Structure 1
Amino acid sequence: MVALTAALHAPAAFAQGFQSPAPFAVLLDSASGTVLYEKAADELMSPASLAKIATALVAFEEIAQGRLTLDSEIGISENAWRKGGGVSGGSTMFAQLNSRVKLSDILHGIIVQSGNDASIALAEAVAGDETTFARLMTERIRALGLTKSVFRNATGMGDPLQKVTARELALLSDHIIKTYPEHYRIFGQREFTWNKIKQQNRNPLLAMDIGADGLKTGNIDDSGFGLVGSAVQNGQRLIVVVNGLKTARDRANEARKLLEWGFRAFEPRKIFEAGDIVGEASVFGGEKGRVGLKAKGPVALLLPRGSSERLNARIVYRGPLTVPVQEGAEVARLLVTRGEVKTLDIPLYAAETVQAGTLQSRALDALLEAASGWVRKALSRS
């Protein structure tokens, strides 16, 4: 991996010194991708019903691909009824045994009521059984670049191998918000009635008048109390994840404090305009030895108001790049860190096409690459 490093002076030092007692926490700015706060963000934890965010993702993708519609009827099997229905003692939609329920209502049952019966029924309808569906959940998030989380069921019920990270839950939620806005609205619905039983949305943020419109709560013995939430103020969306807290009140208070701090303490700063060349990458055997790199749009960070601190920006890629390099191809990433905190991680794209160079230039590149390889080996032995 090749890393080109530069320093950015930014307002900062997250001088406010905010600390959360939540064992796991992330606060993400949706527009810029800036991580405003993190604590054990990449450590594995039990998701409980926060796993249903990924369950909903699969449903949204099935609809987008035309394999299901909101009017598709989902059967409530005996397995779904016994494991997740009223007789189970867990959160449930109270769907009737052997009934058929429209997918639009199943989604409300999963998202608003946190119904385990609805989640299992969806899994069986899509994949035949819950285990296969859980593998599909994991595959779908891998396609989004989320590499650590693993799902074993559609409900979030305890399983020692079912683990997620706070960062990946935040990124997954951000993807759903941006990709499926028409379905995301369900997460903000305050109540839903099925089988003549009205249930309130368990997300406490929705009642706090802070602009919250999602997402999900969770709690089992292995996870503690957790919450993934999102709120919008003055056009700015923040996504918060907390988990491992001792009480429902604790998770509500900590999620709110993080959101209010994020809205209050930060301001946007643009570090590159749209179309700016962010840096360069080396090219092997090309008509040019380097190619410019740019982001898809402007690059901005949310930075603390006042004070200043040094941020490190790195362009990371596997290189040198080999020809041909096509204009617009994703070839590198821009990483911005604040100490140990990964503040920004976005893809960079080739600003132009680089074709193969002359035989002489390719031979020279080969000699230079061989020489640099010898140097690297020598240094590794020293």
Structure 2
Amino acid sequence: MKFRFAIAALATVSVGLAFAQTPTPQPAPQAAAPTPAVAIPPAPKPAGTAWVLMDYTTGQVLAGENYDERLEPASITKVMTSYVVAAEIKNGKIKPTDPVLMSERAWREGGAGTDGSYSGFELNKTAPLVDMEKGMAVQSGNDAAIALAEHTAGSEEAFASLMNSYAARIGMKNSHFVNAHGLSAPEHYSTARDLALLGQAMIRDYPETYAYNKIKEYKVGAMNPQPNRNLLLWRDPAVDGIKTGHHSGAGYCLMSSAQRGDQRLIAVVMGSTSEKQRADDSMALLNWGFRFFETHRLYETGKAIAQQRVWKGASKQVQLGVAKPLLVGVPRGRYADLKPSMDVPKVLEAPIKKGQAIGTVKVSLDGKLVAQAPLVALNEVEQGGFFRRLWDSFWMWWESE
């Protein structure tokens, strides 16, 4: 009798302690009819020193050349400046309504008397911070970049230190900044991959500030409206940024991004030969990426993808899901080859709060991890009564022996 009792107990416990069921990706509606897999031809090669095409969702490099080579980023630097300003606003250090002074230094080093691009804000007068940001993003104003740096950190030198600190957090391992505008300077450099990571962070972390980059023209004071130098904004409505750059040492540079449906790509071209060439090459890269890769929405927020046994709780199960939609980018036609798995504790004890992190869902393709997200509890599980806790404690003890 005791033997049969033990066998039954162990069977019960083994069911309770087992991993939750492995989730299976649910195709997005448009993926109901799988796209046939196709051979991916080589990406179109831009005329330039370095380039990269990155999948925004996963950060995966889809194609590139010399993308870890340190080069002068020119005015793409201003995306880093925008990121720092947006971060400092979020941290409560500055406000979008702050009056920002166009100082003597900002006007002389970045204004109309220089060879670089300028916004046209008047010397020794203030403008709202948000206007200065648009003057920097749309007109690529060097004067606005310096004024924003001085307002944010007291000096451009101190601001550059902030730039490097935030760059490190983003994961830009081969970048170093010494100014806010991108004019040529010793030890001022970045890489195509790092700049793509910066674009990814800007879109993800500060979408409202990022949106300034798709404004096609901007007017300051009595000046005529100045057009955005990103020619792709006029060629493809899916393009919504990001930033151009040019000086003699850097050549013509462009960091661009476009979104079609759930799929977003980021392209960076550095050291190109002309304004038109950098636009043509960037558009070719984006079109190639959209043609031969696809993004799928695997799991939606708030929908259960698995359930897990809970011990000592008022209920015996907790539903698991994701806090944010989980998207994944794959070569076109390879959706069915994705392999999902879960990393969850074998033993969960109540109480469990709704939204509590429980484990991780991972998705692999050809043995390589392509996406992952935290698993969270979709329902609360309160602690059970005295006898429930005592009973479950007994079975947990029995299993441990």
TM-score over 0.5 (shorter chain): yes
Partner residue in 1 for 2:45 = 21
Q: 2:242 aligns with which of 201, 205, 215?
A: 215
Question: 2:83 matched to 1:54?
Answer: no
CA distance in 2, matches of 1:193, 1:40: 37
Question: 2:230 matched to 1:206?
Answer: no
SS at match of 1:172: helix
CA distance in 1, matches of 2:346, 2:70: 37
- Structure 1: state its 5+ residue gaps: 281-285, 366-382
After the TM superposition, list the runs of 4 or more consecutive aligned residues in structure 1 that deviate by more than 6 angstroms.
Answer: 5-8, 10-14, 312-317, 319-327, 339-342, 350-355
- Going from structure 1 to structure 2, the CA distance change for 1:69 and 1:221 (only over 3 Å counts) comes to same
SS at match of 2:323: coil
Conservation of the 8 A alpha-carbon contact between 2:254 and 2:270: no
Deviations 1:278-304 (A, max 9, x none): 799xxxxx99xxx99753244332444
CA distance in 1, matches of 2:265, 2:125: 36
Conservation of the 8 A alpha-carbon contact between 1:316 and 1:334: yes
SS at match of 1:95: coil
Q: 1:172 aligns with which of 201, 206, 210?
A: 201
The 5 A counterparts of 1:71-220 are: 71-142=97-168, 145-146=170-171, 148=173, 150-152=175-177, 153-157=179-183, 158-164=185-191, 165-176=194-205, 179-181=206-208, 183-195=209-221, 196-220=223-247
- Going from structure 1 to structure 2, the CA distance change for 1:239 and 1:267 (only over 3 Å counts) comes to closer
Conservation of the 8 A alpha-carbon contact between 1:271 and 1:301: yes
Question: 2:264 matched to 1:238?
Answer: yes
TM-score, scaled to structure 2 = 0.67
Computed over aligned residues only, the root mean square deviation of the Cα atoms, in angstroms, reads: 4.6
CA distance in 2, matches of 1:225, 1:208: 18
Partner residue in 2 for 1:269 = 296
- Going from structure 1 to structure 2, the CA distance change for 1:61 and 1:34 (only over 3 Å counts) comes to closer
**Residue identity opposite 1:175 in structure 2:** R
- Going from structure 1 to structure 2, the CA distance change for 1:249 and 1:352 (only over 3 Å counts) comes to same
Partner residue in 2 for 1:376 = none
Partner residue in 1 for 2:15 = none
SS at match of 2:113: helix
- Going from structure 1 to structure 2, the CA distance change for 1:226 and 1:338 (only over 3 Å counts) comes to farther
Partner residue in 2 for 1:375 = none
CA distance in 2, matches of 1:123, 1:264: 40
How big is the shift at 1:218? 1.7
CA distance in 2, matches of 1:312, 1:203: 39
Deviates more, 1:305-314 or 1:112-121: 305-314
SS at match of 1:163: coil
Deviations 1:279-333 (A, max 9, x none): 99xxxxx99xxx997532443324444467855767789x999999987455866
Conservation of the 8 A alpha-carbon contact between 1:36 and 1:343: no
SS at match of 2:225: strand
CA distance in 1, matches of 2:105, 2:153: 14
Conservation of the 8 A alpha-carbon contact between 1:112 and 1:192: yes
CA distance in 1, matches of 2:43, 2:99: 47
**Residue identity opposite 2:109 in structure 1:** K
- Going from structure 1 to structure 2, the CA distance change for 1:166 and 1:350 (only over 3 Å counts) comes to farther
CA distance in 1, matches of 2:89, 2:378: 35
Conservation of the 8 A alpha-carbon contact between 1:11 and 1:304: no
Conservation of the 8 A alpha-carbon contact between 1:242 and 1:254: no
- Going from structure 1 to structure 2, the CA distance change for 1:191 and 1:139 (only over 3 Å counts) comes to same
- Going from structure 1 to structure 2, the CA distance change for 1:204 and 1:334 (only over 3 Å counts) comes to farther
SS at match of 2:150: helix
CA distance in 2, matches of 1:41, 1:329: 42
CA distance in 1, matches of 2:164, 2:147: 18
Deviates more, 1:148-157 or 1:337-346: 337-346
- Structure 2: state its 5+ residue gaps: 1-21, 26-33, 313-317, 384-391
Conservation of the 8 A alpha-carbon contact between 1:273 and 1:298: yes
Deviations 1:175-222 (A, max 9, x none): 25xx443x4432122112335243211111111034322221123455
Partner residue in 1 for 2:64 = 39
CA distance in 2, matches of 1:77, 1:340: 56
Q: 2:277 aligns with which of 234, 239, 250?
A: 250
How big is the shift at 1:114? 0.7
How big is the shift at 1:124? 0.4
SS at match of 1:256: helix
Conservation of the 8 A alpha-carbon contact between 2:118 and 2:139: yes
- Going from structure 1 to structure 2, the CA distance change for 1:321 and 1:115 (only over 3 Å counts) comes to farther
- Size of the aligned set, in residue pairs, is 351
Name whichever structure is richer in strand by fraction: 1
CA distance in 2, matches of 1:219, 1:59: 22
How big is the shift at 1:253? 1.4
CA distance in 2, matches of 1:333, 1:44: 34
TM-score, scaled to structure 1 = 0.70
